[in-house]
């Protein structure tokens, strides 16, 4: 982007410009948001476990879908946090707190869904580990 368009206020000219802005947004999430990084680490362990324990293609797709839903919820939560901070700056407002709390609650609900999916997918593995532990 040339210097006169450094601060773009108009619509994107083409797909590649839109893609560039989307990439910039992902860089912000990856570098600035600790919760997103924590989710990525956890997701990495879950997906590796799915591969190691050979959960099957369909179950792996459920895991992958649940993981991406959690990441998407975290992006939406971050969006609400940034919007509230943009409007209010450093001022406290009880409605702003509600907005941020509800957005964080969305992440929690999505994460609980992902945990349920994980328990369903990994239940045969967990059952066999538990049986082996009890029988030893």
Please check if 74 is assigned to a binding site: yes
Q: How far apart are CA 111 and CA 24, in angstroms?
A: 25
- DSSP states of 67-130: HHHHHHHHHHHHHHHHHHHHHHTT---HHHHHHHHHHHHHHHHHHHHHHHHHHHHHHHHHHHHH
Is 131 marked within a binding site?
no
Catalytic residue among 50, 59, 73, 74: 74
> Minimal CA–CA distance to 107: which of 79, 77, 80, 130?
77
Q: Is 73 in contact with 103 (CB distance < 8 Å)?
A: no
Q: Is 21 annotated as a binding residue?
A: yes
What whole-number distance in Å separates Cα of residue 6 and Cα of residue 71? 29
Tell whether residue 101 is among the known ligand binding residues.
Answer: yes
Residue 58 designated active-site = no
Does 49 count as an annotated binding residue? no
Distance from C-alpha of 25 to C-alpha of 66, rounded to nearest angstrom: 21
23 annotated as a binding-site residue: yes
Residue 22 labelled as part of a binding site: yes
Binding-site residues for ATP sit at 33, 81, 100-101
> Which residues does the annotation mark as catalytic?
74
Binding-site residues for substrate sit at 18-23, 74
Binding-site residues sit at 18-23, 33, 74, 81, 100-101
Binding-site residues for a divalent metal cation sit at 33, 81
């Amino acid at each position: 982007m040339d210097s006169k368009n450094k601060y773009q206020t108009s619509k994107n000219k083409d797909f590649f410009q839109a893609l560039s802005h989307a990439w910039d947004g992902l860089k912000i999430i990856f570098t600035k948001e600790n919760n997103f990084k924590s989710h990525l680490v956890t997701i990495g362990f879950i997906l590796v476990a799915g591969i190691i324990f050979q959960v099957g293609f369909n179950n792996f797709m459920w895991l992958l879908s649940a993981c991406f839903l959690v990441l998407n919820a975290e992006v939406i939560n971050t969006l609400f946090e940034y919007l509230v901070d943009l409007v209010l700056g450093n001022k406290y407002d009880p409605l702003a707190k509600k907005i941020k709390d509800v957005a964080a609650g969305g992440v929690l609900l999505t994460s609980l869904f992902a945990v349920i999916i994980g328990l369903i997918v990994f239940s045969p593995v967990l059952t066999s580990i538990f049986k082996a532990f009890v029988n030893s």
